[in-house]
Structures are given as C-alpha cells and as structure tokens.
Amino acid sequence: VAFQLHDTYGFPLDVTAEIVEGRGRTLDRAGFDEAMAEQRQRARAAGKKGSLAAGDEADAFAAILDEHGTTEFVGREVLDVDARIVAVVPGEGGTVSVFLDRTPFYAESGGQVGDTGAMSGEGFVGTVTDTTYAVPGVVRHVVSVSEGAPVAGMTVRAAIDVERRDAIRRNHTATHLYHWALREVLGTHVKQQG
C-alpha cells in the first residue's frame, strides 16, 4: 500500500510511515524498496520498447531513475524551494526537461494537471510550462529557457504559480463534490473517470 500511494499519487513515504506508526504498526520498508526496484526495472524495460518516450529520451529517463532515485515532492509544505538539478534532457521547441532532487511542483496525476511556475539559478532563468512524471516517481519539469542554461549540479530556485495551483485545486475539489452529488442523486453506479 505504501508503494502504491507513493507511485500512483506521489504521497511521501515519510508521511505514510508516520500514519502507519501512529496506528501502532510498522511500515514494510523492505517491501517498499523491493516494489521500487521492480518499478525501476519496468521503467527500463518500457523505455527500451519505446512506450514511455521516443528513443534516447526514454533511456535517459530510466537512467535518471537508476542514478538519482525518485523526486522528493515537498509541495504540500512549501511553494518554492532551493533544489539541485540532477539532470537536463533537451526537448522540442526550445524547451528542456529539468529533473530536480526535490520539487514543490505537483506533477500531472489522478486527473489533476501539473503545476507551472518559475525556475532560476546562477545565470539561468526559465519558465516551467508543464510538470509530469517522466517515469513513475521521477518528476519532469518542462522548462522554456529565457536566459542562460540549466546545468546538472546547479542549485536553482523552483517556485510554483500559486494562483494557478489554487484555481486548479478549487476546480479539482469541485469535481469531486459534483461527483458525490451525482452518486447521491443517481446512485452508486455513477463512476468518475479522468
């Protein structure tokens, strides 16, 4: 369950551990690590088949997962953070995919779109135009560079567009409330998709 929460919803493992321990139980860390290793293997295999991304990009994403592990999501606690760039992959249309060790950016998941915002470091300024999972657990920041260039190892300031996130959150919550009302009126056969 801990791995599924982390892999599917980006729910932090440390928060899951606190909840589990608060209920007098123990988190199966070995089981989590085993499931994560299996997921890395699936990501590598899918990348080789081209189902995650085309060619070299898929291999790059799998290599980032292997070398740096998953991205720590800190966006529940903070809206901007200093983070270290672990990798940069050239993209299309003058964009680059920037991978950080930790991020406040929510990656598109569970029917909710990803955050946008700003990223800057020494001699580098960019706009984060999309945030997705390159492979499960690894957050990909699609960045339109306006000055300089992001470089692996560089420390950057990553800040989400707070007004946009709040609007998305309100919309997402309203969708769930609407779905609840439909189920109350029409019955439990009504299912929410997407």
Whole-angstrom distance, CA of residue 176 vs CA of residue 111: 11
Let me know whether 19 and 75 are in one domain. Answer: yes
Assess whether 176 and 117 both reside in one domain: no
Question: Which DSSP helix (H) or strand (E) runs through 139?
Answer: strand 138-147
Which SS3 state, helix, strand or coil, does residue 62 take? helix
- The pLDDT of residue 194: 55
Examine the domain organization and report whether 189 and 117 are in the same domain.
no
Type of residue found at 132? T
Does residue 105 share a domain with residue 95? Answer: yes
d(CA 103, CA 160): 9
CA–CA distance from 114 to each of 21, 77, 131 (Å)? 31, 17, 5
Q: Is 192 in a helix, a strand, or coil?
A: coil
**How many domains does the structure of the chain reveal?**
2
Nearest to 54 by CA among 104, 9, 92, 3: 92
* pLDDT the model gives residue 118: 98
CATH number at residue 98: 2.40.30.130
Tens digits of pLDDT across the chain (194 residues): 777 777 665 667 777 888 888 889 888 888 888 887 777 666 555 444 333 344 567 778 888 888 898 999 999 999 999 999 999 998 888 899 999 999 999 998 877 889 999 999 999 999 999 999 988 889 999 999 999 999 999 999 999 999 998 888 888 778 778 888 888 888 888 777 65
pLDDT for res 48: 44
Same domain? For 168 and 154 the reply is: no
